[in-house]
């Protein structure tokens, strides 16, 4: 039997994130993931090398991109003998890709691997409507002109022009991510001011991190962007407080809606990659280790039949991971909690502080307790940087690993909520 090996985070590379339908409007997922990968390959001298595996994904993907990651690898300077494949776990995709690569490294199946993620809401995969799709398939398989004419005769004049537009909504409820989060915000009494304060801190901290050059070796400029386009260093509590609610604005609780464009992550385009390896590989290639990828856990909640909030799965995943690792919630120097919405971060923290939630839902004798908020998302997070769904995991892993390297030691927690009621979490240590 093989033994478990330590997994090193060597570094990451991403492109600055762009607002939807803006700077990257004409870039495809392949273009953006390719740019993030090219930067990583250049930074770590991987040109011509056969990497164990490249695992990445996109939440919104064109049907032509059967294996987007492999296509991107074939277009890169990596050795074409590098295997590559796509995965998808909504906003957990990038972190799940890193977990997959880390597990293969730990088990001795590969020595080095790259994880990544990309998404674009500007170049969304519009599909033709279902009737037309089926008719076109029949048309394509018709063998004679007569058969083709018979199928074509069934096409109604305006039918082809009604496309199926992908929605940022749960298939089983029809509600958007934001409307689900708005329900959770009500359940946990998350007030508007706390959400706006969290959003403000995210912008201020991301701006400060850029100003001190933190991202200089984690990012490759792309299509004229050198910083995340959503970053608003000049935003204020007054400006945030003046924005109108956009989620939870229908139904009986509409007057209690608190979620705005300022305290919700924006629709974003972007890509990220992370390099993971064994200690030996890092030594042989003369590359310093930023941090160790030590634990991970996923969880899912039943938001369809039960009353668990759609984006609350990390509240369950983290305590399970802590129990396995023999740690408490307070044993961390940094907390990276993906800011899908300010209210969802605050609801997760409230759940961990709640004796009822921790007893009834987690089966614990005592609440997990509060965290030191000064250690939360210290370089900003998705509210400021933006959130190109599958690319967020890579952004967070690289950011946290570098933070730990800068500090010289410590432990960081990663928590990412995902559509479908899932949560992906991990621990990095140094």
Ligand X SMILES: CC(=O)CC(=O)SCCNC(=O)CCNC(=O)[C@H](O)C(C)(C)COP(=O)(O)OP(=O)(O)OC[C@H]1O[C@@H](n2cnc3c(N)ncnc32)[C@H](O)[C@@H]1OP(=O)(O)O
By CB under 6 A, the residues from 242 to 271 that bind ligand X are 243, 246, 261-262, 264-267
Q: How many residues does the chain have?
A: 430
Q: Are 5 and 277 in contact (CB under 8 A)?
A: no
Asked if 417 is an active-site residue, the reply is yes
Contact map string, positions 188 to 227, toward ligand X, x by CB under 6 A:
-----------x----------------------------
* Of the residues 41, 132, 225, 240, which one makes contact with ligand X according to CB under 6 A: 240
| First-residue to last-residue Cα distance in the chain | 27
Does 88 contact ligand X by CB under 6 A?
no
Contact 16/221 with Cβ under 8 angstroms?
yes
**x-or-dash string of contact with ligand X, 1-40, rule CB under 6 A:** ----------------------------------------
Q: Cα 402–406–411 angle (5° rounding)?
A: 70
Among candidate residues 298, 313, 318, the one with its CA nearest the CA of residue 371? 318
Q: Pick from 97, 177, 207, 346 the residue near ligand X by CB under 6 A.
A: 177
Smallest distance from ligand X to CB 180, Å? 8
Q: Binder to ligand X among 110, 332, 389, 396 (CB under 6 A)? A: 389
CA angle 52, 214, 56 (to 5 degrees): 30
| Binding of ligand X by 169 (CB under 6 A) | no
- Residue 232 as a binder of ligand X (CB under 6 A): the answer is yes
For residue 195, the minimal CB distance to ligand X (Å) is 11
User: How open is the CA angle 12-13-18, to the nearest 5 degrees?
Assistant: 135
Verify binding: residue 239, ligand X, rule CB under 6 A.
yes
In sequence order, what DSSP letters do the residues of 263-305 get, joined into one string? Answer: SBPPBEEEEEEEEEEEHHHHHHTT----EEEEEEEEEE--TTT
Per the listing, tokens 């139904």 go with 251
Q: Looking at beta carbons only, is 168 or 256 nearer to ligand X?
A: 168
Size of the site for ligand X (CB under 6 A): 24
Residue number, 235 or 273, with CB nearest to ligand X = 235
CA dist., res. 30 & res. 36, Å (int): 10
Name which of 14 and 387 has its Cβ closer to ligand X: 387
Query: 277, 337, 419, 428: which one contacts ligand X (CB under 6 A)?
Result: 419
Q: How many CB atoms lie within 10 A of CB 250?
A: 11
Q: Which is nearer to ligand X, 129 or 168 (CB)?
A: 168
Q: Considering only residues 320 through 359, tell me which ones interact with ligand X, judged by CB under 6 A.
A: 340
Q: Which residues of 211-224 are buried (b: 16+ CB within 10 A; e: fewer)?
A: eeebbeebbbebbe
Q: Which of 91, 180, 203, 338 is flagged as catalytic?
A: 91
Residue 91 falls in the annotated catalytic set? yes
Cα separation, 273 vs 80, in Å, equals 18
Using the rule CB under 6 A, give the single segment among 37-45, 112-120, 145-153, 411-419 that binds ligand X.
Answer: 411-419
62 catalytic residue (yes or no): no
How many CB atoms neighbour CB 262 within 10 A?
22
What's the rounded Cα separation, in Å, for the pair 339 and 314? 12
- Would you please indicate which residues are annotated as catalytic (active-site) residues? 91, 387, 417
Q: Which residues bind ligand X (CB under 6 A)?
A: 90-91, 168, 177-178, 199, 232, 235, 239-240, 243, 246, 261-262, 264-267, 340, 387, 389, 417-419
């Amino acid at each position: 039997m093989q033994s478990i090996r330590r997994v090193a985070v060597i570094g990451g590379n991403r492109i600055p994130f762009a607002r939807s339908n803006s700077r990257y409007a004409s870039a495809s997922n392949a273009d953006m993931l390719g740019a993030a990968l090219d930067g990583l390959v250049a930074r770590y001298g991987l040109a011509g090398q056969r990497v164990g595996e490249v695992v990445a994904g996109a939440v919104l993907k064109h049907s032509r991109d059967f294996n987007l990651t492999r296509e991107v690898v074939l277009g890169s300077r990596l050795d074409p003998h590098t295997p590559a494949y796509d995965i998808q776990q909504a906003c957990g995709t990038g972190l799940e890709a890193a977990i997959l690569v880390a597990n293969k490294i730990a088990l001795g199946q590969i020595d080095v691997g790259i994880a990544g993620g990309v998404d674009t809401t500007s170049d969304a995969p519009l599909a033709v409507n279902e009737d037309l799709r089926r008719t076109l398939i029949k048309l394509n398989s018709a063998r004679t002109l007569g058969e083709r004419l018979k199928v074509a005769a069934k096409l109604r004049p305006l039918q082809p022009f009604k496309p199926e537009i992908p929605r940022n909504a749960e298939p089983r409820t029809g509600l958007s991510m934001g409307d689900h989060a708005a329900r959770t915000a009500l359940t946990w009494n998350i007030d508007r001011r706390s959400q706006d304060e969290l959003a403000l801190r995210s912008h201020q901290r991301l701006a400060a991190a850029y100003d001190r050059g933190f991202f200089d070796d984690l990012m490759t400029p792309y299509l004229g962007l050198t910083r995340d386009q959503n970053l608003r260093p000049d935003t204020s509590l007054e400006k945030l407080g003046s924005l109108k609610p956009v989620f939870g604005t229908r139904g009986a609780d509409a007057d209690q809606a608190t979620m705005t464009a300022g305290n919700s992550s924006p629709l974003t385009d972007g890509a990220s990659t992370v390099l993971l390896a064994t200690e030996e590989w890092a030594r042989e290639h003369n590359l310093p280790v930023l941090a160790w990828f030590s634990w991970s856990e996923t969880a899912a909640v039943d938001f369809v039949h039960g009353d668990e909030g759609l984006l609350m799965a990390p509240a369950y995943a983290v305590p399970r991971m802590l129990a396995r690792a023999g740690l408490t919630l307070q044993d961390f120097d940094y907390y990276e909690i993906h800011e899908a919405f300010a209210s969802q971060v605050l609801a997760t923290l409230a759940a961990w502080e709640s004796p009822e939630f921790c007893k009834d839902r987690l089966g614990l004798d005592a609440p997990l307790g509060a965290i030191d908020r000064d250690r939360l998302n210290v370089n900003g997070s998705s509210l400021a940087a933006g959130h190109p769904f599958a690319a967020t995991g890579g952004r967070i892993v690289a950011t946290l690993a570098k933070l730990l390297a800068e500090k010289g030691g410590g432990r960081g927690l990663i928590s990412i909520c995902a559509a479908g009621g899932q949560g992906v979490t991990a621990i990095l240590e140094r």
